[in-house]
Amino acid sequence: MRTAFKLGVLFAAVCAGSVSAEDKPTEPPKDFTALFNGKNLDGWKATGKADAWAVEGGAIVCKGGGGGWLLTEKDYGNFEFRCEYRWEKKGGNSGIALRTPDKGDPAYVGMEIQLIDDEGWPGKLADYQHTGSIYDVQPAKMAKNKPIGEWNAVKIVCKDRKVTVLQNDVELVNAKLDDYKAKFEKHPGLKREAGGIGFQSYNIRVEFRNVWIKELK
C-alpha cells in the first residue's frame, strides 16, 4: 500500500507539472517574431494611463480601464498576427487594434477586432460587437469562447485589402475591405495600408500572451 501510495503521489505530481508547463508562454513558431519579450513593455506605448498596463507571469496585463490602447511602436501592413487572451471574471471587453495611427480611436482611424465576453456581457450586443467582428464594420460568426479563466487563441491575417479572423481555430470573419466603401468616411482606417497593432483597456482585467507576428509580402 505504501508503494502504491508513493506511485500515486508521484503520478499526481507529474500531471500537475505538465498542466503548469502548458499554462506558460511558449516560443514563436517558425518564421514568427515575438512582439512581446515576456519581461517588460519595450517596443510598446500606451495611449492612456501607462500604469494600467503591466507584465505578470510572462503576460501583458491590462489591470482595468483608463489605459487607452497599448500599441506597438512599429507599424505593420501585411501580416499574420497571433495571440492568446483570457478574462479574470465575467463581463470583459477589449479589442485588438490593426493598422492604426498613434492618435484617434483605432476602431475608426484604424481597425478594431472586438474581444468581449459574449455570454457574460450584461447588456445586449449589436451584431458587430461580438468577438471577432471588425468593430462597426463586419459582424463575426458565433465565437466558441473558452470558459472564463482559460486562454483563447486568436489569429488575424491582414493581406492587402483582405482581413481574416480566427478564434480557437474557428473562422469568424473573412472580409474584403473594399466591400465596405460606404463606411470609409466614418472608418477612414479601412483605407490604411499600415499602422500599429495593439490591445484595448476597456473595463476589467484581461491578459495577453504568446503575442507573435509574421510579416507578409
Domain spans of the chain, in order of start? 26-215
pLDDT above 70 coverage of the chain, percent: 90
Closest CA to 134 of 174, 101, 186, 193: 174
With CA atoms as reference, report the closest residue to 199 among 113, 78, 77, 74.
113
Mean pLDDT computed over 9-32? 57
In this model, does residue 4 exceed pLDDT 60?
no
Residues 6+ apart with CB under 8 A from 146: 86, 152, 168
Element (H, E) at 97: strand 93-100
Each residue's pLDDT tens digit, 88-106:
999 999 999 999 999 999 9
The answer, yes or no, to whether residue 63 has pLDDT greater than 60, is yes
pLDDT at residue 15 is higher than 60: no
The rounded distance, in Å, linking the Cα atoms of 147 and 5 is 33
Whether the per-residue pLDDT at 124 is higher than 70: the answer is yes
122-126: long-range contacts, CB 8 A cutoff, minimum separation 24: 122/91
Could you report the per-residue pLDDT of 165-193, keeping only the tens digit for each?
999 999 999 999 999 999 999 999 999 99
d(CA 71, CA 80): 16
Q: Which pLDDT score, from 0 to 100, does residue 173 have? A: 98
Banded pLDDT at 22 (limits 50, 70, 90):
low
Q: How much is the pLDDT for 145?
A: 97
Superfamily holding 26-215: Exo-inulinase; domain 1 (2.60.120.560)
Nearest to 196 by CA among 48, 114, 75: 75
pLDDT over 60 at 122, yes or no: yes
* Beta pairing partners, 212: 34, 82
Task: Quote the pLDDT of residue 16.
Answer: 34
Does the pLDDT value for residue 136 go beyond 50?
yes
Average pLDDT, the chain: 91
Residues with Cβ < 8 Å from 25, sequence gap 6 or more? 38, 58, 59, 209, 210
Give, as one character, the DSSP assignment of residue 134.
B
Tell me how far CA of residue 154 lies from CA of 30, 42, 72, 127, 209, in angstroms. Answer: 17, 22, 17, 19, 11
Strand partners, 207: 61, 86
Residue 198 has pLDDT above 50, yes or no: yes
